[in-house]
């Protein structure tokens, strides 16, 4: 805790509300937490930064009583917390908002907030009281919710507000947020940050777990960096920068992606006035979308999620057919849309959700690597799979793409997110594709893995591939894309060229500005 | 206590799961026998003696296992692709009906022609019977558990109608039974003078063939991918609906072979009690085998031994042979639990 004494003077933080001393936890040979000590002060946001597997979640699980530490002690407001008791943690005023919400979808907001705080047989009589308390909390912290709305009908941002209110309802004085922005839109993220500032102003202490550097920089007062179970650094946020934090987190310098200028090649993918309707509801998912992707360029697709990006990705993946308009690949209009056909055309498709679309978790690595190409040589001949050539290919991809695994026959679902993404990259890019659809390729990955994905995409660009990069991370788009278009309500804007893009302008377009005059009927 | 995914499942554990499940079912049965006032040791000794104690008993067990291997394979291959074929019973009867229609004199052909013809036609009948529910599932999202299950009852009524109508044996003294199959259609016995017939050998070959398909062919690969994650399979370009249809044809066809085998190999004609629930027991067999085709052989022999042994035991010890049903049903439940532990481990804290 060497940096501690110097930092506390500058901002004048409140008393220590939580102290971890020498927390150590071992899982078999893995040292998940190695003698970690830290203090949390009243009225501060402390960011806990680290890559996946650095030990952040283990530490918080120990704090919350889900695990028992092998060594070390936790004290809250000066009192030692009995280990292994979530109940004691709650009673001491520790509240946790998990990355995956723990709400009952079919209950109302009020029910969810009260659930577990009252004995069941008294819940009904206490509802009026609960309603009043919820209203007070929601007003004083600016967390607007409708107490009688069903959680299932709420947006992701609203659900998170319910989770926070749930913790506040239990009189939480210390709030732990585990990757709270992973599922939020940029607007929702900003609203969350405003809420956090209000909470600390009222004397709460917050631990903010994240691996997103710009968020840590924006929201925290202090940063603690974990790497491989060790606390490697502690900084006052105002005295550090993203670059230093990234290096501390990964343990080695991270090169910024270098985008060399490239001559623009021929058009590889062209959409002209494409429209796609939802077959069930008839809702227009994609409207009059026109877009040209050339060889050797990255076109970024920005937009708040749910504005047609998934449909655009499905279209290029061959999962949906256009109802109107034309789609051309390599200058030729195509009429048949099927995933297998897109594979035939040599389109690399990196899907949004690794678990749902990208991989079959219960198959082995090698089986997943041939999922699009198992029908043809060298992987099969006359309906018989040649497992030897499959294994050779798998070994090559595992080596080339640095997939950390026990071997080509390991079960895929046991891989980390980053290694799953490398596996998908290896599968899709092994055949030197000319078109790459990358839908949220770095979502949920840690810095090292993100840098890896970016490097591979830029290599493909340098080799002449055209890349459609769909991302909700504006920093990623601005760093990589040659041109950026914005999607809003199924429409695609005119492209903005690299170097002429202002974040403010993008933000306005994402909110719908500039779309009205194009289509007329669909003003925002 | 909580469940934690295992990083790998060793072969020892995979073998231990069914053994533990069977041992647990023995314990439950022993408790029931005790409550009934008999000695579990005497009962189990009699069961084992009745199932394996003599050449006659052992061959009888294999004979009983034969249809269970077919229906077990049918369930195993469909379940692997997450196609819940509960209609093995209906497909078995479809196969039996075709055997009787073609094999009781309608076609006067020499055995080398008639044998494969009946086999193919019957398998096709069972295959098509499962194709219907599968198309309803892939096209309209109709739950195949419901449709295939209900088809079992429909088929029993159809058989009943046929046995009182077009297929009725005119010499049967009014009993609802079909004519006997002609000599050219009858399957030879494997052991002179005993009931074990060619069907057992065909069942073993079928299991090996299914194993080969699973392990080595693109179709086996497709079935696994579709079964584990249909959305990822479709994204990769695997024709999911077509794979489902092919799986249905294979599964329905295999179940139908149980019907052919029982009629042409054992009973000689079609009656309403041709199958004492072989279709349903096939599901238990498949689960006990953890859906592995070679495991199906072992599981079918075990289940058959329980039934055959319990029959013999009930004659000597006097405990009702329903104890076999209890044991097989318990084994299914404990096996489902045991399979959970091959994928997860229990951890404290």
Partner-chain contact A406 B8, CB within 8 Å: yes
pLDDT value at position B108?
A: 85
Domain boundary among A392, A408, A430: A430
Partner-chain contact A384 B237, CB within 8 Å: no
Name the phi and psi angles at A2, rounded to 5.
Answer: -70, -35
Partner-chain contact B221 A414, CB within 8 Å: no
Angle at B11 between CA B7 and CA B16, to 5 degrees: 105
Same domain, residue pair A405 and A447 = no
Domain boundary among A414, A430, A446: A430
Which of A68, A310, A348, A371 should one mutate to test binding to chain B, selecting the residue with the greatest count of B CBs within 10 A?
Answer: A371
Same domain, residue pair A329 and A454 = yes
**Tens digit of pLDDT for each residue in B173-221?**
878 899 999 988 899 999 888 899 999 999 999 999 999 999 999 999 9
Closest CB to B349 among A67, A340, A384: A67
CA distance B227 to chain A (A): 10
Which of B2, B139, B221, B243 should one mutate to test binding to chain A, selecting the residue with the greatest count of A CBs within 10 A?
Answer: B221
Closest CB to B236 among A372, A384, A414: A372
**Tens digit of pLDDT for each residue in B145-156?**
999 999 999 999
The token pair at A79 is: 């009192």
Residue of chain A nearest B221, judged by CA positions:
A367
| Number of domains into which chain A is organized | 3
Averaging pLDDT over each range in A47-61, A293-307, B47-61, B123-137, which range is the top one?
Answer: B123-137
The token pair at A388 is: 């030897």
Measured between beta carbons, which residues in chain B are less than 8 angstroms from residue A30? none
Measured between beta carbons, which residues in chain A are less than 8 angstroms from residue B222? 374
Same domain, residue pair A27 and A69 = yes
Cis preceding linkage at A489, omega within 30: no
Three-state DSSP state, B289? coil
pLDDT value at position B9?
A: 67
Please report the DSSP string for A439-508 in residue order: ESTTTT--HHHHHHHHHHHHHHHHTT-EEEEE-S-HHHHHHH-SEEEEEETTEEPPPEETTS--HHHHHH
Partner-chain contact A360 B237, CB within 8 Å: no
Round to whole Å and give the CA distance between B264 and B67: 12
Same domain, residue pair A173 and A316 = no
Q: ipTM > 0.90?
A: no
Partner-chain contact A360 B229, CB within 8 Å: yes
Same domain, residue pair A503 and A426 = no
Inform me whether the pLDDT recorded for B79 exceeds 50.
Answer: yes
Measured between beta carbons, which residues in chain B are less than 8 angstroms from residue A382? none
Q: Which position has the higher pLDDT, B295 or B13? A: B295
Domain boundary among A411, A430, A449: A430
Closest CB to B7 among A356, A374, A414: A414
pLDDT value at position A220?
A: 93
DSSP state of B172: S
Give the domain range for residue A324: 262-346+431-524
Name A137's Cβ contacts closer than 8 Å, sequence gap at least 6: A143, A165, A168, A169
Q: Is the Cβ of B225 closer than 8 Å to some Cβ of chain A?
A: yes
The token pair at A376 is: 């043809």
Please report the DSSP string for A266-300 in residue order: -EEEEEEEEEEE-TTT--EEEEEEEEEEETT-EEE
Partner-chain contact A363 B5, CB within 8 Å: no
Round to whole Å and give the CA distance between A316 and B242: 23
Q: Is the Cβ of B54 closer than 8 Å to some Cβ of chain A?
A: no
Residue of chain B nearest A69, judged by CA positions:
B349
Which of A67, A355, A360 should one mutate to test binding to chain B, selecting the residue with the greatest count of B CBs within 10 A?
Answer: A360
Same domain, residue pair A243 and A285 = no
Name the CA dihedral angle for A280, A285, A290, A291, rounded to a multiple of 10 degrees: -110
Round to whole Å and give the CA distance between A295 and A464: 5
Three-state DSSP state, A80? strand
Same domain, residue pair A128 and A277 = no
Measured between beta carbons, which residues in chain B are less than 8 angstroms from residue A317? 235
Please list, residue by residue across A128-156, b when 16 or more beta carbons sit within 10 angstroms of its beta carbon and e when fewer do: eebeebbeebbeebebebebeeebeebee
Three-state DSSP state, B180? coil
Name the CA dihedral angle for A203, A207, A211, A212, rounded to a multiple of 10 degrees: -10
CB pairs under 8 A between A and B: 81
Same domain, residue pair A452 and A317 = yes
Residue A290: which CATH number?
3.40.50.300
Measured between beta carbons, which residues in chain A are less than 8 angstroms from residue B219? 383
Name B26's Cβ contacts closer than 8 Å, sequence gap at least 6: B44, B327
Round to whole Å and give the CA distance between A341 and A343: 5
Same domain, residue pair A242 and A304 = no
CA distance A423 to chain B (A): 14
Q: Which position has the higher pLDDT, A87 or B228? A: B228
Partner-chain contact B217 A372, CB within 8 Å: no
Measured between beta carbons, which residues in chain B are less than 8 angstroms from residue A67? 349
Name the phi and psi angles at A26, rounded to 5.
Answer: -115, 135
pLDDT tens digits, chain A, 524 residues: what are they? Answer: 344 343 333 445 678 999 999 999 987 777 889 999 999 999 999 999 987 778 888 898 889 888 888 999 999 998 998 888 888 888 899 998 887 788 888 888 988 888 877 666 665 667 788 888 888 888 888 888 888 888 888 877 788 889 889 888 888 999 999 888 766 766 778 888 999 999 999 899 999 998 778 888 989 999 999 988 899 999 999 999 888 888 888 888 777 777 888 888 899 999 999 999 988 888 889 999 999 999 999 999 998 777 899 999 999 999 999 999 999 999 999 999 999 999 999 999 999 888 889 999 999 999 999 999 999 889 999 999 999 999 999 999 999 888 888 889 988 988 888 889 999 999 999 888 999 999 999 887 777 788 889 999 999 999 999 999 999 878 888 889 999 999 988 999 999 888 887 777 887 788 778 775 444 444 33
Same domain, residue pair A419 and A460 = no
In chain B, where are the structural domains located?
A: 64-294
Closest CB to A360 among B232, B237, B239: B232
**Helix (H), strand (E) at residue B43:** helix B40-52
Closest CB to B237 among A372, A383, A385: A372
Partner-chain contact A371 B349, CB within 8 Å: no
Q: CA neighbours within 13 Å on the CB side: how many for B221?
A: 24
pLDDT value at position B1?
A: 59
Answer whether residue A480 is part of any domain. yes
Partner-chain contact A363 B224, CB within 8 Å: yes
Same domain, residue pair A54 and A173 = yes
> Helices B111-140 and B88-103 meet at what angle, rounded to 10?
150
Answer whether residue A256 is part of any domain. no
Q: Which residues of A touch B (CB under 8 A)?
A: 67-68, 84, 317-319, 338-343, 349, 351, 356-363, 367, 370-372, 374-375, 380, 383-385, 387, 406, 410-411, 413-414
pLDDT value at position A516?
A: 55
The tokens 């993203």 sit on which residue?
A242
Answer whether residue A351 is part of any domain. no
Answer whether residue A394 is part of any domain. yes
Same domain, residue pair A162 and A307 = no
Cβ neighbours of B110 (radius 10 Å): 8
B residues 1-20 lying closer than 8 A (beta carbon) to A: 5, 7-8
Q: Give strand pairing partners of A289.
A: A274
- What average pLDDT does range B112-138 have in this prediction? 95
Residue of chain A nearest B218, judged by CA positions:
A383
Residue of chain A nearest B237, judged by CA positions:
A340
Name the phi and psi angles at A182, rounded to 5.
Answer: -55, -30
pLDDT value at position A124?
A: 66
Answer whether residue A257 is part of any domain. no
């Amino acid at each position: 805790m060497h940096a501690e004494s110097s930092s506390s003077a500058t901002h004048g933080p409140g008393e220590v509300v939580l102290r971890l001393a020498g927390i150590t936890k071992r899982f078999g040979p893995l040292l998940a937490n190695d003698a970690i000590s830290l203090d949390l002060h009243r009225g501060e946001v402390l960011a806990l930064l680290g890559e996946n597997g650095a030990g952040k979640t283990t530490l918080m699980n120990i704090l919350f009583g889900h695990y028992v530490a092998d060594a070390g002690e936790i004290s809250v407001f000066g009192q030692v917390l009995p280990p292994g008791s979530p109940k004691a943690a709650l009673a001491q005023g520790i509240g946790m908002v998990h990355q995956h919400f723990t709400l009952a979808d079919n209950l109302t907001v009020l029910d969810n907030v009260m659930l577990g705080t009252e004995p069941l047989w008294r819940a009904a009589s206490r509802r009026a009281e609960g309603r009043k308390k919820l209203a007070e909390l929601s007003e004083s912290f600016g967390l607007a919710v409708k107490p009688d709305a069903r959680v299932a009908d709420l947006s992701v941002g609203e659900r998170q507000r319910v989770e926070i209110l749930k913790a506040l309802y239990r009189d939480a004085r210390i709030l732990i947020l585990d990757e709270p922005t992973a599922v939020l839109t940029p607007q929702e993220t900003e609203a969350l940050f405003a809420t956090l500032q209000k909470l600390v102003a009222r004397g709460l202490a917050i631990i903010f777990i994240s691996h997103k550097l710009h968020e840590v920089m924006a929201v925290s007062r202090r940063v603690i960096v974990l790497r491989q179970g060790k606390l490697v650094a502690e900084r006052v946020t105002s005295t550090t920068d993203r670059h230093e934090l990234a290096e501390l987190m990964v343990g080695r310098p991270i090169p910024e992606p270098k985008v060399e200028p490239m001559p623009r090649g021929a058009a590889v993918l062209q959409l002209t006035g494409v429209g796609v309707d939802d077959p069930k509801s008839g809702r227009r998912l994609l409207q009059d979308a026109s877009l040209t992707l050339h060889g050797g360029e990255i076109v970024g697709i920005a937009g708040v999620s749910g504005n047609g990006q998934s449909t655009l990705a499905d279209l290029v993946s061959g999962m949906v057919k256009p109802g109107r308009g034309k789609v051309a690949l390599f200058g030729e209009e195509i009429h048949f849309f099927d995933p297998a056909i897109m594979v035939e055309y040599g389109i690399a498709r990196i899907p949004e959700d690794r678990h749902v679309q990208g991989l079959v978790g219960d198959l082995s690595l090698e089986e997943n690597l041939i999922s699009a190409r198992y029908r043809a040589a060298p992987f099969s001949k006359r309906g018989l799979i040649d497992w030897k050539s499959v294994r050779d290919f798998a070994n090559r991809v595992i080596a080339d793409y640095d997939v950390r695994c026990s071997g080509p026959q390991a079960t895929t679902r046991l891989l980390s997110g980053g290694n799953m993404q490398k596996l998908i990259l290896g599968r899709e890019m092994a055949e030197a594709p000319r078109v790459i659809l990358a839908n949220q390729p770095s979502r949920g990955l840690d810095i090292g893995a993100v840098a890896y994905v970016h490097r591979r995409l830029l290599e493909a660009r340098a080799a002449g591939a055209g890349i459609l990069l769909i991302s909700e991370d504006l920093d990623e788009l601005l760093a990589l894309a040659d041109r950026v278009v914005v999607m809003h309500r199924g429409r695609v804007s005119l492209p903005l060229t690299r170097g002429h893009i202002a974040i403010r302008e993008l933000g306005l377009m994402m909110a719908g500005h500039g779309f009205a005059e194009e289509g007329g009927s669909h003003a925002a | 206590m909580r469940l934690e995914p295992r990083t790998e499942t060793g072969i020892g554990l995979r073998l231990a799961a069914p053994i533990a499940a069977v041992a647990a079912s023995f314990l439950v049965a022993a408790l029931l026998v005790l409550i009934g006032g008999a000695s579990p040791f005497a009962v189990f000794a009699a069961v084992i003696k009745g199932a394996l104690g003599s050449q006659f008993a052992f061959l009888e067990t294999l004979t009983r296992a034969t249809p269970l291997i077919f229906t077990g394979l049918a369930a195993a291959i469909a379940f692997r692709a997450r196609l819940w074929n509960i209609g093995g019973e209906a497909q078995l009867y479809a196969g039996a009906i075709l055997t009787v229609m073609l094999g009781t004199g309608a076609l006067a052909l020499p055995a080398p022609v008639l044998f494969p013809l009946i086999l193919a036609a019957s398998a096709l009948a069972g295959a098509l019977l499962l194709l219907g529910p599968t198309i309803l599932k892939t096209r309209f999202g109709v739950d195949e558990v419901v449709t295939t299950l209900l088809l079992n009852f429909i088929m029993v009524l159809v058989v009943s109608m046929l046995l009182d109508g077009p297929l009725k044996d005119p010499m049967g003294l009014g009993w609802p039974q079909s004519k006997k199959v002609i000599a050219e259609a009858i399957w030879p016995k494997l052991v002179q003078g005993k009931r074990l017939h060619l069907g057992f050998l065909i069942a073993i070959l079928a299991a090996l063939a299914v194993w080969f398909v699973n392990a080595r062919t693109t179709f086996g690969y497709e079935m696994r991918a579709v079964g584990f994650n249909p959305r990822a399979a479709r994204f990769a370009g695997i024709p999911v609906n077509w794979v489902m249809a092919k799986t249905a044809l294979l599964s329905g066809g295999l179940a139908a072979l149980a019907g052919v085998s029982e009629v042409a190999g054992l009973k000689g004609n079609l009656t309403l009690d041709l199958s004492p629930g072989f279709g349903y027991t096939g599901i238990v067999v498949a689960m006990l085998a953890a859906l592995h085709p070679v495991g199906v052989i072992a599981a079918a022999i075990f289940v058959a031994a329980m039934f055959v042994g319990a029959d013999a035991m009930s004659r000597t010890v006097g405990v009702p042979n329903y104890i076999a049903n209890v044991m097989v049903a318990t084994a299914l439940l404990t096996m489902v639990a045991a399979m959970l532990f091959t994928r997860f481990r229990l951890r404290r804290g």
